[in-house]
Structure 1
Amino acid sequence: MAHEIESNDGLVLADCGAWHGLGLTVKGAPNPFAALRLAKLDWTVEESATLIGVNNPGEPNEFRVSTDTHKLLTRSDDHTVLGVVGKDYTPVQNEQLAELAYALRSSTDVGVEIETAGSIRGGKRVWFLIRSQSIEVGTRGDMVQPYLLLANGHDGGQALRAVPTNVRVVCANTYRAAMGQSKGTIAFRHTPGITERVDELARTINDWQHTVTKGLAFANSLAAKPMSSAAIKSLWVEVIERLDGKIPTDPQTGWEIRSKDRAVSGLAHMAQVFDREAQQFGATAWVAANAATNWIEHERSQYAVRTKDAGVRKYAAADGATADDVELVFDI
């Protein structure tokens, strides 16, 4: 299952359903505590005092061993196992995640709502996706929807994270996509004292709105900057060469031929996206940059990210490489 939503997972979505057809779609955005219930996240993580193993079960030499250096994490509702962790691992409960979302919602004077909330992998990963008001870049109706993803792991494999993103999280693939966007991410490990640091996180993520405002100002500056055809091509060539090396002018080897073919294909992809978008939003630096990021996300990731998983390759969340490449475009 590409979506990785199991039978004991839940999902709630505001207004619009997901591609996989799963989850509960509600009219309007629920508050965080309603989302907690609607997404079936109203369970807690329970910790065992020790970890016990049975060796050779049913055999004459059966024996048991126990250790207090590790513990078992289980769900309170159905007692399924979430993971085995060290004794110092401190869980952050789903309700605490809802409280974080509520703290942000109640501390701002602009609209902040729950877009989606849910879990995957049987509760090993949980999230709340907070949406702010849509913002317009430029003056021609180019709308951008900013989100803040609050994500947490219950198996010892993921820290508590707050991730600014433009990805609507509805499944495992989109979860990985959002998690791959590393810029501005805040992360806390599940070590003793994390509950106190959750309060710190609540204060810190309030800066998200300021980040959105700052990002809008930058985007508007690009949207107000017209670019000539020569300048646009120069930008795209620089993006390709910064990511993949100098484009061969007289390819001789197989590698050089493939490198040039990919560059030519990339320029054609960017030109096609740009021509389509420029008709509506103008021939600006914003549209040129977004044509480059479209190439990175939809074409270059097919060969730049080494994995057989098409979903991971598409979103490049294996190590966040695609997200970093997208950031490079706006740094040029």
Structure 2
Amino acid sequence: MSIDVNEAFAAGRERQAITARDRQGELRAGVEAGRLRRLPDGRYKVLTGFDAGEILSALGEPVHGLDEKARGAVALYSAVPAWHHLGQVVPGGTTDIDTVLSLAGIGFEVVTVPAFYLWDGRYLPHPGQRHTVRADTGQALGIVGPDYEVIQNRRSFEFLQELVSDTDAVWESAGSMRGGSKVFVALRVPGHVVVDPGGLDDRIVPFIVAINSHDGRSAYEVVATPWRPVCANTERLAVQQAATRWKVRHTRNATEHIREARRTLRLTSHYYDTWAAEETALARTNLAIDEFNTAIDELWPLEENATARQQRTAEQRRDRLHALFGEEASRSGRTAYAAERAVTDYTDHFAAIRPSAASGLKGNEPAARGLRLLEGTDDAVKSHAHQRLMLMRRR
């Protein structure tokens, strides 16, 4: 049985009607109690509960960037209640893909139709181009070529159903972004890994995320990631030959090639074991502030002829990274692990982004930032930081 979280959390929703002054008092109380952390830009980060990692605006309002379904509900399914009080929740999760597709609003099919342009009062076909269109709403999702093959959402995710059936894996979350041109499902894999056993004892729950697109610009992907798409930072890193990502392009026979993604699933445990071992090594490596500055300079090099504006931007970035490093160091010590967490936090929540009109997200920074997390736009920066810090471990 599904529960609409807007009803299940009616009592909590009433708090949103209080005055701005009372809300600020509640936020301050949350910070003092250790439930929230105020970020340098005035927003807040949730530290405890189901949705640790959730980002709130300066007014305490959730930042989600998810699509709205036709009936007005957010296009999101989750196995746990989220701080933003949005979406359809099945407590404990479900193992039925049809339930997930329905509650997340991603059960729609996609068709391709000819592309036309207006010329001299007439609509003429554009040779070699077609549009991908949602069959339920008629919304255009992208422009594609003649060889493009639609990978239907159900087909793209149903092969994971066997993993659910054969193990204790549970559908953790699913949702839609950018009008349905990008959809995802996430599986919570049984068990967990521990970073720095006996020390920090950071428990990491492994996930497999499948991402399908209909925009004509990106592939179908399966990703191994210590990240819950509902509301957390992504810790995806390319570590010593461990497979983290597998792609299928939208070309002829694409749906048949998806079956090969099973090999990614088989390699998932190897990835997490390797990841945890390397993160443990970083957690046991002390780091001087000069070494942290060196890593920052390598990640974001500043040209000798940099303008005054570029220099100010670099200084502001360094200040923010230092603040994030200090906050993490108070919990885990001044270690390479704390430095990596600072870089991850910065790229996920603070790095400047400028959504373009072409992306369909211009002016919607939360949605654009959420899409960057989903697509792994900053994975290269995080991996570079990880590799650089691993070298410092061997100094």
The answer for unaligned runs of 5 or more in structure 2 is 1-62, 239-243, 356-362, 389-395
TM-score by structure 2 length?
0.64
Q: Structure 1 residue 198 and structure 2 residue 249: aligned?
A: no
The separation in 2 between residues aligned to 1:216 and 1:235, in whole angstroms, is 23
Sort the Cα spacing of 1:7 and 1:68 in 2 relative to 1 into closer, same or farther, 3 A: same
The match for 2:330 is: 276
Q: Structure 1 residue 135 and structure 2 residue 193: aligned?
A: yes
Deviation at 1:197, TM superposition (A): 0.9
Secondary structure of 2:94 counterpart: coil
Selected match of 1:120 from 177, 183, 189: 177
The separation in 2 between residues aligned to 1:186 and 1:287, in whole angstroms, is 29
Q: Structure 1 residue 290 and structure 2 residue 362: aligned?
A: no
Q: Structure 1 residue 15 and structure 2 residue 80: aligned?
A: yes
The separation in 2 between residues aligned to 1:257 and 1:39, in whole angstroms, is 44
Q: Structure 1 residue 6 and structure 2 residue 68: aligned?
A: yes
Secondary structure of 1:221 counterpart: helix
Secondary structure of 1:220 counterpart: helix
The answer for unaligned runs of 5 or more in structure 1 is none
Q: Is the 8 A contact 1:73 1:84 kept in 2?
A: yes
Deviation at 1:99, TM superposition (A): 1.5
The amino acid of 2:366's aligned partner reads: G
Selected match of 2:273 from 186, 210, 213: 213
Secondary structure of 1:191 counterpart: coil
Secondary structure of 2:65 counterpart: coil
Aligned pairs (5 A) from 1:1-332: 3-8=65-70, 10-17=75-82, 19=84, 21-33=85-97, 34-48=99-113, 51=114, 53=116, 55=118, 63=122, 65-66=124-125, 69-106=128-165, 111-132=168-189, 133-138=191-196, 139=198, 140-170=200-230, 183=238, 184-223=244-283, 225-227=284-286, 231-245=287-301, 254=308, 258=312, 261-262=315-316, 265-266=319-320, 268-278=322-332, 282=333, 284-299=335-350, 301-302=351-352, 305=353, 310-311=365-366, 317=372, 322-332=378-388
**How much is the aligned-residue C-alpha RMSD, in angstroms?**
3.8
Secondary structure of 1:201 counterpart: helix
Sort the Cα spacing of 1:73 and 1:182 in 2 relative to 1 into closer, same or farther, 3 A: farther
Sort the Cα spacing of 1:31 and 1:98 in 2 relative to 1 into closer, same or farther, 3 A: farther
Sort the Cα spacing of 1:192 and 1:260 in 2 relative to 1 into closer, same or farther, 3 A: closer
